[in-house]
């Protein structure tokens, strides 16, 4: 529609005539001709200078509507209606509502990871276009099956477990749809420095701490007080940097030192660059844990027997106790050297049988077990060495067995 200026064609615009009747009959026709000609020229000039104002309706596309905006007032057109201008043309006004996306925090994505052996935590993440649960392999250690649920009790169906060599980090695949789950977008390329402040997210509370050092894959930090779950997410300035990797101990220590041997200190596990991964069979891992625990108990008993180590508790091997008793009875019963030597040989054989194929088993475990157990296997081999030296000396000179006759 166009609006044009109204043109005033009144003769008085060009000349003020008070009394036309006073003019002569000859003058009046001439004056009217001049006025008419001037009006025509003025109209033409104004026509060329007329302002044309175009009136149209704007199309609104992808407009964000504030959630505080109320309903339309009376008389106003509602969204997605046809607006008719004066010229009769219609223009559709479209209003699109764009919802504000609130980022998911590690706290929002927190989950509980439970198995037969222990309970831990994890966080649902998206990394390299995959949705998985990030946790610590320590949280799964010893469990043949695991269950995952959110804080509200929602169960998360899970599948396979993937671990990374040289770390305590594990991914648990999420089965089924993830559209309705709070998934945290994780950038694993994180570098921490000594002195950095971090926060551990535990259920119902957070714990502050500082990085002591380390490198991508594992960073060391002092263990804060209180119970901390394996796999608990660790953040720096609100961004996920890894998960809690708890301390790992053996219930045996070398020499006269009592207590446990710490083989892995408390720290933070994260993803190192170019990490090699391996699929974890939890049942196989559980079997390996049982074997390592058995070897630990055997070495604890042998160490206490030979006086080269002490365990956290008094671990006694019934086989060795029975061998000691038979040795003492054999030595007391006969004064003849042959019989006494036979008693000593039987004792050495019993000790050797108690050790069994421990060394061979440990050596095979170094290459056949999951890399997660490498620190423990290496420590067990180291703890066996003084025991092996005692056993070799006993076999070389059975008469030294007399000191074990009790």
Q: Are residues 302 and 240 in the same domain?
A: no
For residue range 312-326, list pLDDT tens digits in order. Answer: 444 457 888 889 999
Distance between CA atoms of 121 and 83, rounded to whole angstroms? 57
> Domain limits at 289?
281-404
Average pLDDT over residues 44-66: 41
Q: Give a yes or no: residue 95 inside a domain.
A: no
Give the span between the Cα atoms of 148 and 132, in whole angstroms: 12
184 beta partners = 125
| Whether residue 44 has pLDDT greater than 60 | no
Q: Mean pLDDT across the stretch 164-180?
A: 92
The better pLDDT of the pair 52, 275 is held by 275
Confirm whether 5 is domain-assigned: no
CB-side neighbour CA atoms (13 Å) of 292: 27
Q: How far is residue 111's CA from residue 118's CA, in Å, rounded to a whole number?
A: 15
Q: Give me the number of domains the chain comprises.
A: 3
Over the Cα atoms of the chain, what is R_g?
A: 45
pLDDT at 67 over 70: no
Lowest-confidence pick of 195-204, 246-255, 292-301: 246-255
In this prediction, residue 82 carries a pLDDT of 52
Of 218 and 46, the structure prediction assigns the larger pLDDT to 218
Which of the given ranges, 60-74, 87-101, 260-274, 280-294, has the highest pLDDT on average? 280-294
pLDDT for the residue numbered 66: 37
Of residues 218 and 82, more confidence is placed in 218
pLDDT band at 129 (very low <50, low <70, confident <90, very high): confident
CATH number reported for the structural domain that contains residue 228 in this entry: 2.40.10.120
| Domain annotation covers residue 102 | no
pLDDT of 334 reads 82
More confident residue, 20 or 295: 295
Q: Are residues 118 and 265 in the same domain?
A: yes
249 and 229 share a domain? yes
- What pLDDT sits at residue 158? 96
pLDDT at residue 259, as a whole number: 61
Whether the per-residue pLDDT at 386 is higher than 70: the answer is: yes
Query: Are 174 and 291 part of one and the same domain?
Result: no
Residues 18 and 126 in one domain: no
Could you tell me if residue 276 is inside a domain? no
C-alpha separations of 370 from 175, 218, 273, 288, 357 in Å: 24, 18, 20, 8, 20
Give the per-residue pLDDT at 285.
96
- Does 15 have pLDDT greater than 70? no
Nearest to 293 by CA among 228, 349, 227, 376: 376
Phi, psi of 25 (to 5 degrees): -60, -25
Check whether 103 has a pLDDT greater than 70.
yes
- pLDDT for the residue 96: 61
Q: Is the pLDDT of residue 160 over 70?
A: yes
216-242 residue pLDDT tens: 999 999 888 888 999 999 999 999 999
Across 84-111, average pLDDT: 70
pLDDT at 254: 55
Whether 78 is in a domain gets the answer: no
pLDDT tens-digit readout, 190-199: 889 999 999 9
Query: Is the domain of 116 the same as that of 206?
Result: yes
């Amino acid at each position: 529609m166009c609006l044009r200026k109204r043109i005033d064609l009144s003769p008085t615009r060009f000349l003020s005539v008070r009394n036309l009747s006073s003019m002569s009959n000859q003058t009046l026709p001439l004056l009217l001709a001049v006025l008419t000609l001037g009006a025509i020229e003025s109209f033409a000039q104004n026509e060329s200078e007329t302002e044309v104002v175009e009136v149209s309706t704007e199309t609104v596309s992808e407009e964000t509507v504030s959630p505080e905006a109320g309903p339309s007032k009376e008389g106003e057109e509602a969204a997605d209606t046809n607006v008719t201008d004066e010229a009769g043309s219609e223009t559709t006004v479209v209003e699109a509502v764009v919802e504000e996306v609130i980022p998911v925090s590690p706290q929002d994505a927190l989950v509980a990871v439970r198995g037969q052996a222990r309970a831990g935590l994890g966080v649902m993440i998206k990394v390299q276009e995959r949705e998985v649960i990030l946790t610590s392999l320590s949280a799964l250690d010893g469990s043949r099956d695991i269950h995952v649920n959110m804080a509200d009790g929602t169960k998360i169906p899970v599948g396979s477990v993937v671990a990374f060599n040289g770390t305590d980090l594990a991914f648990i695949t999420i089965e089924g749809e993830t559209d309705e789950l709070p998934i945290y977008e994780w950038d694993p390329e994180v570098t921490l420095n000594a002195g950095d402040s971090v926060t551990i997210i535990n259920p119902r509370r957070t714990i502050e701490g500082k990085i002591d050092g380390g490198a991508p894959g594992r960073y060391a930090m002092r263990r804060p007080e209180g119970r901390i779950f394996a796999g608990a997410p660790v953040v720096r300035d609100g961004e996920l940097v890894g998960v809690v990797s708890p301390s790992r101990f053996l219930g045996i220590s070398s020499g006269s030192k009592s207590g446990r041997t710490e083989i892995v200190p408390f720290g933070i596990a994260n993803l190192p660059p170019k990490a090699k991964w391996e699929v974890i069979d939890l049942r196989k891992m559980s079997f390996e844990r049982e074997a390592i625990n058995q070897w630990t108990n055997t070495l604890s008993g042998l160490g206490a027997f030979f006086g080269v180590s002490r365990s956290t508790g008094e671990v006694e091997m019934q086989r060795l106790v029975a061998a000691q008793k038979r040795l003492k009875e054999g030595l007391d019963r006969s004064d003849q050297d042959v019989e006494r030597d036979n008693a000593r040989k039987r004792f050495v054989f019993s000790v050797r049988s108690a050790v069994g194929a421990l060394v061979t088993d440990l050596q095979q475990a170094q290459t056949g077990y999951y890399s997660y157990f490498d620190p423990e296997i290496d420590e067990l081999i180291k703890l066996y060495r003084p025991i092996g030296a005692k056993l070799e000396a006993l076999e070389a000179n059975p008469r030294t067995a007399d000191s074990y006759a009790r």
